[in-house]
Structure 1
């Protein structure tokens, strides 16, 4: 059997010391096994394979949806603070006093009813819970949705969403529920996260069927007698969260940052205004 003649063309174009008799199907260069990229027909050299790769589409605009950290610090902090308050609620001798001091009822923002004016309860109540099951369910939902939204929105936007959604839940309690019905729980804020997540995911073409089922089940449970759930907070938080989710999606361009801030401030002002109007009626 005769040996193939030694020829410069029979050596790899990237490794001149490696003899080969395989040619790139596109440019005809000689390629050694290390430089061969399998193609639909034959092989390509490294350069042709690189040129043949589809270019990544450039973003149409710079998005404001970015977080500089992959760690959900705010979510963990919210869970920790909420758990701390529940521990205080469980301490014999002071637990009941803690709950009574921080829970919310419409009477605390309706001076005409004779209760002291304590509007901060609209926020403090979202860190309180009525039972360990109530706490665990809400914190599990916060852990699931919170991590995704914190990474998507960034810490400041995410915390704003959580607090304003919680406030929205309290406003709904103020407008709809009995003014002497004390409420506790992060459900309004949690439903706000769900509402925002639904709008954002819908905007990007995601599948929301499972989320809709989860929200629907929880809303229905809130209307069943005997469960003691403030369905008003669920509705208020859901509406506020969905509104902010719409704001976030419509002002994603980094050049719209000021507009986004103004709209979020307007949302907070609107919730406060509803509370003031209810107090004056």
Structure 2
């Protein structure tokens, strides 16, 4: 369901399929296009009309080169599929299966990937293992943990990835996972954590912002998000609310950047702001080194 404001704003819908909402613009004419109308170009996706105009303007030599070297047109049909979502689910499921291998191998895999803040700082453990900031999203404590997280990723990713595009969606996921790890570092320094919950909450936050931006009814999303946040604070639930909050805040921020830098001419600004978010998160990781009194053990 959506609001009247959403229905009136035709820029939120594919110009060829008025009933399909999208967040992706043709890189030539800047009209909104749905996944079915997207064809991957050299510098982004273009709509069918711009593709025809481009092909008409080609010289015979260019047409011959395109037939010889370009990808088959069938490839463009998959442009709207949530490939990144499916890939993350597949990789996470594969790692989870590795952790189930007996004989110590499964435990070694989990030990190498989970996040425990002291392992990040040579000052505390004599070693530095920064990959754990992101690999924590690959390991889970059990079948229900990984199952619920991947179910949430599948449900959100199928809608959000086609709206944002693969690169922006992957950036959102990774920055949200990083945000969850940073929050755990600052708010629960000695607590070991596993799971993709920080990244998932980042996707929830992004869905809230983008849904609000296009005028969609976000009441249901807000309710589900609120319930999941409250669960993290209930005693007895072995849940890292710090990772949830960190991922959520970063997801909200990244989505806000996306909604304010949609135009092609703002691509450089968008990239710069995303780099700034990543740099800011990394900077916060120096707080335990220079201001150890501020961290919460």
Which of the five TM-score ranges fits, normalised by the shorter chain?
A: 0.7 to 0.9
Matching residue of 1:267 = 277
Matching residue of 2:268 = 258
Does the C-alpha gap of structure 1 residues 104 and 66 become closer, same or farther in structure 2, counting only changes over 3 Å? farther
Matching residue of 2:45 = none
Structure-1-length-normalised TM-score: 0.76
Choose which of 214, 217, 223 in structure 2 pairs with 1:204: 214
> Does structure 2 conserve the Cα–Cα contact (< 8 Å) formed by 1:64 and 1:257?
no
> Does structure 2 conserve the Cα–Cα contact (< 8 Å) formed by 1:88 and 1:95?
yes
Matched, 1:230 2:198: no
**1:222 Cα shift?**
0.8
SS of residue paired to 2:239: coil
Structure-2-length-normalised TM-score: 0.72
SS of residue paired to 2:286: helix
> Does structure 2 conserve the Cα–Cα contact (< 8 Å) formed by 1:102 and 1:128?
yes
Matched, 1:136 2:104: no
> Does structure 2 conserve the Cα–Cα contact (< 8 Å) formed by 1:64 and 1:253?
no
Q: CA RMSD in A?
A: 2.1
**1:85 Cα shift?**
0.5
Matching residue of 1:9 = none
Q: Distance in 1 between matches of 2:34 and 2:261?
A: 13
Matching residue of 2:67 = none
| Gap runs ≥5 in structure 2 | 1-8, 16-24, 39-78, 292-297
Choose which of 161, 167, 172 in structure 1 pairs with 2:178: 167
Choose which of 117, 137, 156 in structure 2 pairs with 1:106: 117
Does the C-alpha gap of structure 1 residues 114 and 66 become closer, same or farther in structure 2, counting only changes over 3 Å? farther
Give deviations 1:231-250, integer Å, cap 9, x for gaps: 10000000000000000000
**1:79 Cα shift?**
0.2
Q: How does 1:175-214 map to 2 (within 5 A)?
A: 175-177=186-188, 179-214=189-224
Count residues with an aligned counterpart.
225
Does the C-alpha gap of structure 1 residues 109 and 65 become closer, same or farther in structure 2, counting only changes over 3 Å? farther
Structure with the larger helix share = 2
Choose which of 120, 139, 144 in structure 1 pairs with 2:131: 120
Matching residue of 1:79 = 89
Q: Distance in 2 between matches of 1:138 and 1:97?
A: 22
Matching residue of 2:43 = none
